[in-house]
Amino acid sequence: MKRIIIALILLVNIPLSAQIDKDESTPEETVEKFFAAFHAQDTVKLKNFAVEGTKLQSVSNDVEGNIKLSTDDYSNFLKSIASIPAEASFEEIIKEFRVEENGLLATVITPYSFYYNGKLSHCGVNSFQLVKFNDEWKVVYLIDTRIKECE
């Protein structure tokens, strides 16, 4: 009788633990949802993907070919997304996701091409640094490259 009760307890707990794991988001899913909100210009959702104080950086070449590193606050990023005119179209096409996860820390690398009003504007690579807070992945740092001459 003891064995039957133990077996029933184990069987009942298996679906519960599977459901708990299923509800947790992955770093890749978080970045995918980030881009869905980005394309929808949903700054409320975008704000929820990052922690207070998140920094964004971009690496590019200036007109003279010098390397330029620009830094901005996430709040300014949100303002820039909100200010894109309704008649403008933009799309960042993600080519792949490379994910390195280690406990509470994850890096998601996404090569991309960015189109503005149907024309290729630039391409490069995004590098998202995420931290897991209470089973939810949040962006703490984002850096990208911006290349004008894309293949």
Q: Return per-residue pLDDT of the chain as tens, 151 residues.
A: 444 433 334 444 444 434 434 457 899 999 999 999 999 999 999 999 999 999 999 999 998 999 999 999 999 999 999 999 989 999 999 999 999 999 999 999 999 999 999 999 999 999 999 999 999 999 999 999 999 989 7
Let me know if domain 25-146 sits in CATH 3.10.450.50.
yes
Whole-number Cα distances in Å, 9 to 21, 22, 23: 19, 20, 22
Beta bridge partners of 108: 99, 128
CA dist., res. 138 & res. 135, Å (int) = 10
Please, what sign has the CA dihedral across residues 12, 13, 16, 22?
negative
CA dist., res. 71 & res. 58, Å (int) = 7
Domain boundaries, the chain: 25-146
Q: pTM of the predicted model, to two decimals?
A: 0.81
Beta bridge partners of 101: 106
β strands within 29-151, DSSP E: 50-61, 67-73, 90-94, 98-102, 105-116, 119-133, 136-146
